[in-house]
Homo-oligomer: A and B are copies of this chain.
Amino acid sequence: MKYSGYHGRFGGAFIPEILVPTFDELEAAYLEAKADPAFWQEYEQLMSTYSCRATPITYAENLTKYFGGAQIYIKREDLNHTGAHKANNVMGQGLLTKRMGKKRVIAETGAGQHGVATATMAAKFGFDCTIYMGAVDVARQRPNVFWMEQMGATVVAVEDGSATLKDAINEAFRDWVTNMDDTHYVLGTACGPYPFPDMVSWLQSIIGKEAREQMLERTGQLPSRCYACVGGGSNAMGLFGGFFEDESVQLVGVEAGGHGRGIGQHAVRLAYDDATVGVAQGYKTYFLQNTDGQMQETHSVSAGLDYVGVSPILAALHESKRVRFEAATDAEVVEAMQLTVRKEGLIPALETSHGFAQAFKEAPEMSKDEIILINQSGRADKDIFTVADAIDDPKWKEFIIRKAEEYKRA
C-alpha cells in the first residue's frame, strides 16, 4: 500500500498475507476515487436520488426550551434510506466495488443496520451478498434479518466466540481471504485495517460537510459543540469531519456506558480507563481486553455500540485532545430517547441516543447564544424489540405472547 494508515500511534493494517494484494487494490481504488471529483459527484448524485441527501437539520425547539440553555439542532441521518447513516458508507463502497469490477459483497453486522444497508445496496447494484451476524444478534434482531433475506442476501449466523459483532467481523475476513478475487468486504464502520478507517470516514464526511454549510446558512454561526455516539466511530467521524478545521467547535464523542465502569459492564474504549492499546481485527487502537490481550465481553443496551474496539482515527483524536470522549449509561440513554420522542416527535436509535444523552447533560449549562448540533445517526423504529425491552413495556409483551399463540395454533 502507498500509505501506512497510521494516525498517531493508531491504525495500520495488520492483515493476513493473502489479503495484501486485495488491500493494495482497495487502497488504489480508494485513493483514485478520492482524487477524482467525478466520484464524489456520482456519490452525491446517488445519495440525493436513492436516499434523501442532503438530510435536513431540525431545530429542536421544544428540547431547547426544556433545557433552557444552548440551542439544540439535530442532523437527521435517520431520514436516510434504511434509516441510518450506514447508508452513506455502504452506497459509497458500492460505487467502489463497481469500480473494482467485483460482483459480490460481504459485510458484518451487529444490530443489523449495516447488514440491511449492505443488502439494500447489493440489491440496487445487483451484487451477490452475504452478511455475517453473530448468532446472538440474529436471534435478537430478527426483523433486520428478515429484511436482509427479503433483499436476497444470505445471512450467516456466526456461532463462534461471543457470537456478536466482533466474531462476525472475523468471519467476514475468513470469507474474504477465500473469495477476495470477486468479493469486496464492505466494512461498516471507521475501524479495521487501513484504508477502511480513512475510507469510511471520508465517505461519511458527507454528513459534516452538509451540516457545516447548513448551520451557517440557517443560523449564521457554527455550533459550539457537536455530539455523536461512538460505536466503531463512523457517524462521529462523519459529523466531525466537517468541523476539524474549526477550532472553536468542540467535538464530543459519546460511548456506551452500559451499566457503568468496570470491564464487562460497558463498551467504553476512550472515556473510561478500562481499555488498553492493542492490535486486533487488523488494526491498532484501544481495545477492551485483558492483560493477555484477549478481547473481553462488552455490554450496551444498543447493539450498534457494543464493540471492543474503536476507530483508530478517533483514538488519535482522543490523544491529541481534538475530540472529547464521554460515556452515557443505558439508563440515561433510554431516558434521553424517551424525552426526545415525546418533545420532538423524533425517534433516535438507542445508539444515537447516547449523543442526545450527553448533549442533554451539557445544554442547560451553556448560554442561549450557543448552538449545539447532535448527529441523529439513525431511527429506532426498526429496533422496536430492543426498545420495547429497554423500556420493559408490558403491552408489548402481551402482544408478542398473543401473536405467538396465533402462530402456534396455525
Contact = CB atoms under 8 A, between A and B. Distances in A.
Interface of A: 48-52, 55-59, 62, 76, 79, 81, 83, 119-124, 126, 139, 142-143, 145-147, 149-152, 338, 341-347, 381-382, 384-385, 388, 391, 393, 395-397, 399-405, 407-408, 410
Given A147-B381, A400-B400, 13 more contacts: A49-B56, A79-B81, A81-B346, A120-B345, A122-B345, A123-B345, A142-B395, A142-B399, A146-B396, A147-B341, A147-B347, A147-B384, A403-B404
B56 A342 contact: no
Given A49-B59, A120-B345, A121-B345, A146 B395 contact: yes
Contacts of A404: 400-401, 403-405
Given A79-B79, A147-B347, A381-B147, A400 B407 contact: yes
Q: So how many copies of this chain end up in the complex?
A: 2
A165 to B, nearest CB: 20
Nearest to A87: B345
B344 A124 contact: yes
A345 B142 CA distance: 18
Contacts of A401: 404, 407-408
A408 B396 CA distance: 12
26 contacts: A49-B57, A50-B58, A51-B79, A52-B52, A52-B55, A62-B123, A62-B124, A120-B345, A121-B345, A122-B345, A123-B343, A123-B345, A143-B381, A145-B395, A146-B384, A147-B341, A147-B347, A150-B341, A150-B391, A151-B342, A151-B345, A152-B342, A381-B382, A400-B400, A400-B404, A401-B408
Given A126-B62, A139-B402, A146 B388 contact: yes
A126 B124 CA distance: 40
